[in-house]
Structure 1
């Protein structure tokens, strides 16, 4: 139940079983530098440090023109997403411990949170859950923009997790 005066979160969640051990999948989803390798129409616009660490900051550009136009930040339907890593817990298949990341979106275009949960299944498989609670910064209220952002995100997330699964399968 939502407290009076607050807006209910609009969470979008997509999951996929991938054919690798949880620590391998976690390395790919937690390290922001790997995201352009498997996220559809995404490029890393500013560095994310030297590996997944709390406090890492980065800027991603996503959209139809993101890969074609590396010099542009906003043209061709490109959304710039500035983020900081706020949670980073590595998984353990032996201890059946779920790996978790959480990123806070820092605004200009998108606000909210996003993250990945990597659930160990066995020595050769895990379930990657990508979730986002995001909305547009700006004059329209969160209650209006969150469902619209969620619609776009759901398709983007499905396609991207499929690419992640194929990339990880090729590495076996």
Structure 2
């Protein structure tokens, strides 16, 4: 496309979890909980008090992420820098969807990602994890987008299944 930025391909995975929407929202909105359920992921740097709009996070993900955060980078690890841009709490009684939106600032991934938490009833909700992210380069997006989407979808499915198992133990 000439003169215009092409939109990133949207990858979306959803899962019904056995908890009220506000509980699931607390887990997906707060990036400090993500290493507990997102596959091979570690929070890099200070955690802060979060989550609040404007908070900045860096997550390291990949097979090289180990127990020692000082040795994680440099071993098949993707560093994902993000800024929280939107936080809207869900309400089961008002049938209001909770939303979290993050802006990805590289160095490998650019674009947006987020979670929608859809109340179903007092004991269940649907968590939707979406990503509109793309590789920063140097290869053309026509080549990398389909491969990145495939890898991302698998990563997201496994991670949401882990979240559902974790939340079912706490239900």
* TM-score when normalising by structure 2: 0.93
Cα distance in 1 for partners of 2:69, 2:5 equals: 38
Once the two structures are superposed, residues 86-116 of structure 1 have per-residue CA deviations (whole angstroms, 9 ceiling, x without a partner) of: 0110000000000000000011111111000
> Cα RMSD (Å) of the superposition?
1.7
Cα distance in 1 for partners of 2:91, 2:2 equals: 36
- How far is the alpha carbon of 1:8 from its aligned partner? 3.8
Q: Which residue of 2 aligns with 1:117?
A: 116
Distance 1:8 1:112, change over 3 A: closer
SS in 1 for 2:69: coil
Q: Which residue of 1 aligns with 2:70?
A: 71
SS in 2 for 1:72: helix
- How far is the alpha carbon of 1:9 from its aligned partner? 2.6
Q: Which residue of 1 aligns with 2:169?
A: 170
Q: Which residue of 1 aligns with 2:101?
A: 102
Q: Which residue of 2 aligns with 1:131?
A: 130
Cα distance in 2 for partners of 1:29, 1:67 equals: 22
Cα distance in 2 for partners of 1:42, 1:16 equals: 20
Q: How does 1:33-112 map to 2 (within 5 A)?
A: 33-112=32-111
Aligned pair count? 171
Please list every run of at least 4 consecutive aligned residues from structure 1 whose deviation after the TM superposition is greater than 3 angstroms.
2-6
Unaligned runs of 5+ in 1: none
